[in-house]
Amino acid sequence: MLVAVVAAGCVSSATRTTHNHKNPDAMHSSVASLVPAGTSLQDATALMEGEGFDCKVTRNGVFREMRHWADKGPDHEDLDFLRCRRINSNAGFLMGRVWNVAIVLDGDVTNGEVLVSHFVDGP
C-alpha cells in the first residue's frame, strides 16, 4: 500500500505545471498561463493549491520580489493579491527551494500580473 501512495504522489507532482522549476522566470510563465487575467479568486486559489501551494489573500499589502536569500527587493506596495507559498526539497541535501508567488487581484478576479519570489534555504 505504501508503494501505491508514493507512486500516486510522484505521478500527481509530475503532472503539475509548476513542478520542478528552478528558475523564477519559468515559474512566472507557468503561473501566468495557469491563472490568466479574469480568473476568479476561488478558481485561482484552487488551481494554485492543486499545484501544492498554500495560498492566502492579502489586501493592501506588500510583496517583495526576491531572486536569492539576500535579495532586498523590489517591494511592490499597496497590492491586493493571492499569496501562494511552496517549499520544494529538490534544491539539494537539507536544502529547500522556497517559492512565493503573488497573483495580483482586481477585486475578486486576477488582473494577469504575477510576481515571483524565490530563494534556496538550508543549513
Distances (CA, A) of 51 to 15, 41, 61, 84, 90: 9, 15, 24, 10, 15
Residue 10 pLDDT greater than 90, yes or no = no
Share above pLDDT 90 across residues of the chain, in percent, rounded to a whole number? 61
Q: CA-to-CA distance for 116 and 120, rounded, in angstroms?
A: 14
- The pTM for the full model equals 0.82
Residue 59 has pLDDT above 90, yes or no: yes
Per-residue pLDDT at 17 exceeds 50: yes
Instruction: Work out the mean pLDDT of the chain and round it to a whole number.
Output: 85
